[in-house]
Amino acid sequence: MLKEMVPVSVDNLVKETAGLKIAGYRFVTLSCAAIDKDHFDILYHFDLGLDLKHLRLTVSGDTKIPSISPVYFAAFLVENEIQDLFGIFFEGLVIDYRGTLFLEKMIHTPFCKYTVQASQSKTNGSQPLSGSPDLKEES
Amino acid sequence: MLKTVIPFGPQHPVFPEPIHLTLTVEDEIIKQALPALGFVHRGLETLVDKSDFHQMVQVVERVCGICSMIHAMCYCQAIEEIMAIQVPQRARYLRVIWSELSRIHSHLLWLGLFADSFGFENLFMQFWKIREKVMDIHEATTGNRVIVSVNAVGGVRRDMSSEQLQWIQSQLANVKQEVARLGPTLLEDYTIKKRTVGKGIVSRDKAYELGLVGPTLRASGIAQDVRMLGYAAFNELDFEPVLGTDGDCYARSKVRFQEVFQSIDLIGQAIRKIPGGEVQVTVKGRPEGETVTRVEQPRGELLYYIKADGSKNLDRLRIRTPTFANIPALVTMLPGHWLSDVPVIVLSIDPCISCTER
């Protein structure tokens, strides 16, 4: 079962994550699971010497979550994946595919059992990496 | 200088599977690389809604052909942890044997593809010829060459006779001899070193910061190997992670090359120590709870997150494959290199798109 589980909120997520980086934790990944019609659990997994530590963020579907990719660069890929599959939005992504990581055009959120937020998926504010024509076309 | 954007992939001779890179170059020097996925994404994780937790073993086996057995082992370990199932000791050893066989044939496959990426066709054929011996072992012990399907929740579906175990040892002795014969070519050939030394360097600190896994991480000098957790029967076997220091394409190929011998040694240890007894226990009840399980795939750390609510179908299955963890490194590895180095550098992380597009 999951040990070392720390509940976090949107307000202290980045601070907690930065603290883990200073403490020497390696970023592992994020896991997202729907709790009910309106709420999701996002688990942030970190590793130090093969011991896992998890942060649990419980949010409603319309919450804009601060991206931890400015702290852990590698998080951009999985945050984009969650954006594609669940329709949850991350603010401040260092590379934002705007819902096009898996699809050329964002149509719907296939992993989201309860809600479809296609129209909002295109309105996430951050910019894609410059010099990327594929992404600019979608903007 | 004028910037040019070059789409690299998804169809490219060097890629066995589709992945795309948007490369921004000045002259022929890469300034920026942006990966794109999703060309063959299957959404296998969502099948938990349709298949019960026993049937999902067969689903996760199909995430990847190369490390099919290890996907199933990771999944089964997660369910066994949630349901507090004690797997028979013999089954744990058999899991070690089959998973290390997977590692050997995966590394031999990659060594061949890597040679192919810089045009060394003969070396490519030699590695793949040796790999056939491992595939023969798979076929003889499981009935299949690729999707071996030996895992089940509570143990393994098949046992091995003492004659089969002895035969495996003799086959692997041949594999060891033949792979060793290719060592000087792979590691000392002037042309190969010219194409791999100093290419795609990831420093020790950067590798850790990027969350890299497997041989890609160890080639940068970090002794992180999930087998050290002691899952299956690894806690009863002696081994040390194979490490590199330079973090370049050459170091990554050397680590994988040496890990072939490490896996042969681990199988030898497992065969000598394997106890008798049952290989599977009867599973009663349904899983309830959540857990995270990790195992060491040929490409690195594989993570399964499972959430179960006590029904026959899992509530959530999340698979983080090692290639998914290594892809962000391409964004930092490629800039500054020649366009002609891209195939070698991308191949050096051993990308498995089948895993990534689970």
ipTM of the complex: 0.89
Average pLDDT across chain B, whole number: 91
pLDDT value of residue A133: 33
pLDDT value of residue A119: 43
Compute the distance between CA of residue B92 and CA of residue B90 in angstroms, rounded to an integer: 5
- Cβ–Cβ gap B22/A1 under 8 Å: no
CA distance A132 to chain B (A): 7
Which domains occur in chain A, in start order?
5-128 (3.30.460.80)
CA distance B241 to chain A (A): 13
Mean per-residue pLDDT, B296-303 = 93
pLDDT value of residue B217: 93
pLDDT value of residue A125: 44
Compute the distance between CA of residue B124 and CA of residue B109 in angstroms, rounded to an integer: 9
**Which residue did the predictor score with more confidence, B263 or A95?**
B263
Each residue's pLDDT tens digit, B34-59: 888 888 888 888 888 888 999 999 99
Is residue B228 exposed (0-12), middle (13-18) or buried (19+ Cβ within 10 Å)? middle
Each residue's pLDDT tens digit, B77-123: 999 999 999 999 999 999 999 999 999 999 999 999 999 888 888 99
pLDDT value of residue A103: 64
Residues in chain B: 358
- Whether the pLDDT of residue A3 is over 80: the answer is no
Nearest to A50 among B209, B229, B325 (CB): B229
Contact indicator for B345, B227 with CB cutoff of 8 Å: no
Chain B interface residues (partner A, CB cutoff 8 A): 3, 5, 7, 22, 24, 31-32, 34, 36-38, 41, 43, 45-46, 81-82, 208-211, 224, 226, 228-229, 289-292, 294, 301, 303, 305, 307, 315-316, 318, 320, 324-325, 327-329, 331-332
- CA-wise closest residue to B234 among B103, B72, B100: B100
Which residues 6+ apart lie within 8 Å of B151 measured at CB? B57, B61, B69, B72, B73, B75, B76, B95, B157
Nearest to A1 among B209, B291, B303 (CB): B291
pLDDT value of residue A1: 67
pLDDT value of residue A124: 47
- Cβ–Cβ gap A54/B292 under 8 Å: yes
Name every chain B residue with its beta carbon within 8 A of the beta carbon of A101. Answer: 36-38
What type of residue is A6? V
pLDDT band at A110; cut points 50, 70, 90: low
Q: What is the pTM of this model?
A: 0.89
- Cβ–Cβ gap B290/A95 under 8 Å: no
Residue of B nearest to A128 (CA): B34
Beta strands in A1-139 (DSSP E): 5-8, 26-34, 39-48, 51-60, 64-66, 89-91
Mean per-residue pLDDT, A76-86 = 89
CATH of domain B3-353: 1.10.645.10
Nearest to A102 among B38, B209, B327 (CB): B38
- CA-wise closest residue to A131 among B2, B244, B324, B157: B2
**Which residue did the predictor score with more confidence, A37 or B131?**
B131
Nearest to A74 among B81, B210, B292 (CB): B210
- Which one of A3, A21, A29 makes the best mutation probe of the B interface by having the most chain B beta carbons within 10 Å? A29
Measured in degrees and rounded to the nearest 5, phi and psi for residue B52 equal -75, 175
- CA-wise closest residue to B333 among B192, B220, B222, B189: B220
Name every chain B residue with its beta carbon within 8 A of the beta carbon of A69. Answer: none
